[in-house]
Amino acid sequence: LKQQIRYSDTPPGLSDPEEIRMARERLELLKEEYRLSQLPAFKNEYTVPDEPFAARERELEEISALFASRQEPVVLCGIGGIGKTSIARAYARKYQAAYRHVLFLTCTGSILRLIASDEELPVSPLSYQRDRYRNRHAYFAEKLKRMEEIMRKEKTLLILDDWNVRKGPGQAEVLSLPCDILITSRLDPVLWPECRPVTVGEMSDAEWREVARLYRGELSEEEMARISDYRRAVGGHTLCTVLYLRKVEGSDGVSPKTDILSRFPLKKAEIQMLMELSVMPASGISKEQFLQISTQPESILTQLEQYLLVKQEERTGGAYLYVHPVISEEIIACFRPTAEKCRGIIRGTAEAVKTVWIQPESENNRWEGVVFSLMDHFGSMPGW
C-alpha cells in the first residue's frame, strides 16, 4: 500500500514479453542515436566546383608529392590573381576520392575566429554559448580537439585560402592539425617556415596554349601572337590574360582590378613607398638608386617584398627593384600618386642628378630613365 501511494503517478509496467522486447529495442535505438549525436562530425562538406582548368599540372603533382612524403602543410605563394586558388580547387577536385572530408575556408581575418565560427566551420555537437565558454579562445580550443578526433580517424583535406596574416593566436595550433593542409598566400615563402612552399608564377607558352584551347578552341598563330603580346603587357598575369581570352568586356588592353592591395594591412609608410615605386621606370630601378632618393627606410622595402608586392632581381650592376605591371596599375588606381604626394622622391631625384652633367656618361644613363619616368607621370617641373 505504501508503495502504491509513493508511486501513484507512475504508470504500470509492461506485462507482455513481446512489448518488453520491443520497448528494449526502442531504448537501445534511442541510446545509439544519442551516442552518435555526441560524436564529433563536420556538418558542412565542401562541394568542389566543376570549373574550367588547364595546365598547372606541375603544381598539382608537386602538391601531391609533398603530401605523400611528409605530414606538413603546403603553401601556394604568389601575387593576387596568379592562379593559387584555382590550383587549390583543382587539387581538391582531382584527389577528392582520396579524402573522407574536404574543407575549404577563406581567411578574411583572424584564423582563431575563423575556426571558432559556427557559420564558417560547423562541427557537431558543438555550438558557441557564452554561458558555457569563457570566450572564443576557450571555444576554439574545444573545437580544435573535436576536429583532431575526426582527422585522426578519417583522412581530411583542409584548404585555407588567402591566408595573408602571419601574426595572431591559434596559428600554430591550426597548422599542427593531423590532416593535409593546403594554404594559398600572397606572402613571401620565407614567412612560412613550418610549411613546404610551392611558388606559383607565370605559365609557359605551352601551358598558355592549353588554356587558350580550353576557352577559345584551336587558335591561329596570329591570334596566339596577339595573346602573347597582351601577356607581356600584363607581366604574364593569369587572371588578366584569362579575362582577355574570354573577351570579358573592358579587359581588352586594360588590366582588371584584382583586389591585390586590400588583402594587406598597409601602413602609411608602405603606401608611400608603393607610390614612389609606381612612378619609377617600368623596367625597374637599381636598389641603390631607389634607396638614395626614397623618403622611406629599407625596412619598409623588406616588408613589401614579404607581401610579394615588390620583387628584387639580380641584374648586371647589382640588385634591381621591380613592381609587377598589374600591381603598379592598381597602386596608381588606388592611391593616385601626384607630384605633391611624391614630392620627397622628386626632391631626392633632383638632388641626385644636380651634378650629373659633369659625371661620366654611364652615370647619366643610370639616371635618365628615372628622370623621364617622373616627367611622364608628373609632367615637366620647374628646375628640371
**Cα angle: 243, vertex 57, 230; to 5 degrees:** 30
pLDDT given at position 254: 45
Q: What pLDDT score does 132 carry?
A: 87
Tell me the C-alpha distance between 281 and 315, whole Å: 15
pLDDT for res 31: 63
Confidence band, pLDDT 50/70/90 cuts, at residue 131: confident
Predicted local confidence at residue 48, as pLDDT: 86
pLDDT of amino acid 250: 44
Say whether pLDDT at 106 is over 60.
Answer: yes
- Closest by CA to 79, choosing from 166, 185, 174, is 185
pLDDT at 42: 92
pLDDT, mean of residues 259-272: 87
Written as nine digits, the cell of 5 is 501511494
pLDDT in tens, 309-329: 999 988 877 899 989 988 998
Q: Between these two residues, 246 and 197, which has the higher pLDDT value?
A: 197
For residue 180, give the nearest of 118, 108, 49, 91 by alpha carbon: 91
Q: Would the pLDDT of 122 be above 90?
A: yes
Segment 204-209 shows an average pLDDT of 91
CA distance 117 to 232: 43
Q: Is residue 257 packed enough to be buried (19+ CB in 10 Å), middle (13-18) or exposed (0-12)? A: middle
Q: How far apart are CA 310 and CA 79, in angstroms?
A: 10
Q: What is the predicted pLDDT for the residue at 286? A: 93
Q: Is 59 helix (H, G, I), strand (E, B) or coil?
A: helix
Whether 89 contacts 210, CB under 8 Å = no
pLDDT interval class at 355 (50, 70, 90): confident
Strand arrangement, sheet containing 311-315: 285-286, 318-322, 311-315
The CA distance from 256 to 241, in Å, is 10
Q: Give the pLDDT mean for 292-320.
A: 91
Helical ranges in the chain per DSSP H: 2-6, 17-38, 57-69, 84-95, 111-116, 136-153, 171-175, 205-216, 221-233, 238-245, 268-278, 287-293, 298-306, 325-335, 343-352, 361-378
Name the pLDDT band for 60 (thresholds 50, 70, 90).
very high
Q: pLDDT-derived band of residue 253, with 50, 70 and 90 as boundaries?
A: very low
Mean pLDDT throughout 215-221? 87
pTM as predicted: 0.80
Q: Looking at residues 136-164, what average pLDDT do you find?
A: 95
CB 163 within 8 A of CB 107: yes
- Average pLDDT taken over every residue of the chain: 87
